[in-house]
Amino acid sequence: MIRLLLVPLLLVGFSVAAQQPARIRGAVESFDGKTLTVKDAGSVQISDRTEIVFTQPIKLADIKQGDFLGVTSTKGPGGKLTAYEVRRFPKPLNPGHRPFDGGKDQTMTNATVGTVAQSSDGRELTLTYDGGSQKIAVPQDASISELVPGKPSQLVPGARVNLTHDEKKVALRVQVSAPK
């Protein structure tokens, strides 16, 4: 009887896992208008339903109280967070603070700006979300940008992408940054 109950549960679990978007990060190797190849990560199809957003560089001074940010940080001694990427979003997206899939000491904080201040360590953001807040140091070399609508023409060799795709390898959303 238990085995009969476990089989449908396993099938549902596999079905849900198969429907979760997969992520690819890296540099564009090529794009022919339909197939986007990311160096050392494979290819995905770009459809007319693929959302493309561009990371437009801005200055920390452009960020104001009340803006919604996504901040990728590293956790240092004593749990101090230091940003290496700060993105201003046009609208709130997945608020909260959690581990980031790039490494064990990396975090992602999607939250509203409470304050932008100078601290004894340099520049510091205080971000708030339901259930908490985080203080994050922002060094001078941190990447600071805002997400704006992008275009397929920005998918050029060397451009950095962070994308999600479905089980058929059709890109759902592509975040692209200009080549360095």
Tell me the pLDDT tens digit for each residue of 3-14: 444 444 444 444
* pLDDT in the model for residue 90: 87
Buried b (16+ CB within 10 A) or exposed e, 129-163: beeeebebbbeeebebbbbeebebebbeeebbbbb
Q: How many helices (H) and strands (E) does the chain have?
A: 1, 13
How buried is 87 (Cβ within 10 angstroms: 0-12 exposed, 13-18 middle, 19+ buried)? buried
**Rounded Cα distance, 146 and 149, in Å:** 10
pLDDT digits (tens, 9 = 90+) for 58-75: 999 999 999 999 999 999
Whole-number average pLDDT of the chain: 88
Q: How far apart are CA 57 and CA 176, in angstroms?
A: 12
Q: Can you give the pTM of this predicted structure?
A: 0.76
Phi (first) and psi of residue 7, to 5 degrees: -60, -50
Least confident span in 44-48, 91-95, 99-103: 99-103
The tokens describing 80, both together, are 């101090």
